[in-house]
Amino acid sequence: MDRRAVAERYRLFPIFLIPIFVKNSFQNIEGTFDIYPGAQRATECTEIWSYLEGIIDEMMANYGYSEIRTPTLEHTGLIARGVGQTTDIVSKEMFAFERGNHSYVLRPEMTAPIMRAYLQHHLDQNPGVQRYYYIGPCFRAERPQKGRYRQFHQFGAEVIGTDDPRADAEVIALMTDLYQVLGIGDTTLKINTLGNAEARATYRDALVGYLTPFAEQLTQISRDRLSQNPLRILDTKVEAERVILENAPLITEYIDEESAINYESIKRLISSVGIPFVEDPMLVRGLDYYSHFTFEFEVKGIGAQNALAGGGRYDSLAPEIGAKAAIPAIGFAAGVERLILAMENQDLCKEHGSVKYDVWIIAVGDMAHEKAFQVASQMRKSHLRVGMELGHRSMKAQLRLANRANSTFAIIIGDQEVKADRATVKDMETGQEQEVFFSDLVERITKSST
Ligand code: HAM
């Protein structure tokens, strides 16, 4: 509790009488974290996030995806209907609350909100297929552990308005390219098809028929799922249940012809651009809106939470949240933190963990301070990355800062230099120094930086 809070609680005491040793003891909530410059942990380091977001923006632009931003707060009903009442996300993990007669939720994912925005703004009236991407916070009340947080960030892409298998292949290619640009290896792409609604209903009956005699041997969670959402049992991590599932019927035996043809096309397309994959008939995904093609990217070395990204086709989401008919759509979302964990694990964060400056200006003396301010302003206008201390530290201390700031050059200005109209330019790598007229500084640095 800080001094102000103590003063408020014990109103008798004016704030200055509260001892200064009462510390501010607030911490961020478990399962959330701060992102700040120079943080030791890569998942909390601003510079890593900026680097990654830059790459994502560039990659999405290359693929022709435009950014979409929706509110963090949505109506609970949208998520309940869109994601599905019996899913873990809706039944156990929502941060939902009431205000007046309304129930709101901190969004646990972005696909339902984006489809809501698409319908609300009649975006189907834009010509052609719509391609969107996003990066933003999502919230799930899960038990926090490495790679699993209560506030985490998803980036993802949604292609709305086509059932062409090239769209499915395109989002797979996009994700694969991103891993390549970032240098992330050891990923596995798992794919499956869930078929159409009828195929899934027939499969559901077959699975329930197979599992019912084993009901006593299932965990309580799986017994509940048996009546509510039996396909989710396929996701179980419980060894005894996995053994039971070894002889269970597979969805592949129930797939409708159209889905099977589409699935073959997607496999052909991604193979044709050299993307390896593993077929996994148990991959059903944890959200109810999926049908047909589904997929997940996994990575080794980041612990139990190894799903880097997941997605699939969700043609039936739109009617579930108010559209008159199905709207074909496909997309994926990836956990940004897990991506950073994978980068860290593969030693890909080091060179992106700090900002590199072109110039660090060192000024000693009152005249020099004013001159340094003008030089910095001029250089920043010329798109140079400029750093400068705003205090009265010694030249030595400022040089140390320039070193730590990873600057290419230091520009040293003392009152003497101001009088002589020149600064000393120090190459921080070679240590060489050179006197340069103030009027030539920008040109001198720009030439060396290009
Ligand atoms: P999801 O599989 O629930 O799919 O989440 C996508 C990704 O978000 C996961 O693969 C994981 O990397 C990350 N993630 C999920 N929960 C957490 C958590 N608690 N902490 C850290 N990271 C997490 C969806 O959300 C779908 N909307 C994906 C999609 C888009 N399908 C079609 N379009």
Question: Which stretches does DSSP call E strand in 16-146?
Answer: 66-67, 73-75, 95-99, 102-106, 130-139
d(CA 77, CA 194): 25
Point out the ligand 1 atom lying closest to the alpha carbon of residue 142.
19
Contacts of 145 (CB under 8 A, 6+ apart): 303, 304, 305
**Ligand 1 centroid distance, CA of 290 (Å):** 13
pTM: 0.90
Q: Which of 52, 138, 154 to mutate to test the pocket of ligand 1 (most atoms within 8 A of CB)?
A: 154
Q: How far apart are the first and last CA of the chain?
A: 52
Q: What is the pLDDT of residues 16-47, one digit of tens each?
A: 555 555 556 899 999 999 999 999 999 999 99
Binned at pLDDT 50, 70 and 90, residue 355 comes out as confident
**Ligand 1 centroid distance, CA of 155 (Å):** 9
Q: What is the pLDDT of residues 228-250, one digit of tens each?
A: 889 999 989 899 999 999 999 99
Identify the residue whose C-alpha is closest to ligand 1 atom 22.
Answer: 335
**Ligand 1 centroid distance, CA of 297 (Å):** 11
What's the pLDDT score for residue 50?
96
How crowded is the C-beta side of 44, counted as CA atoms within 13 Å? 11
Q: Which of 132, 152, 232 to mutate to test the pocket of ligand 1 (most atoms within 8 A of CB)?
A: 152
Q: What is the pLDDT of residues 61-120, one digit of tens each?
A: 999 999 999 999 999 999 999 999 989 999 999 999 999 999 999 999 999 999 999 999
What residue ranges line ligand 1, CB within 6 angstroms?
A: 109-111, 140, 142, 147-149, 152, 154, 156, 158, 286-287, 307-312, 314, 331-335, 337-338
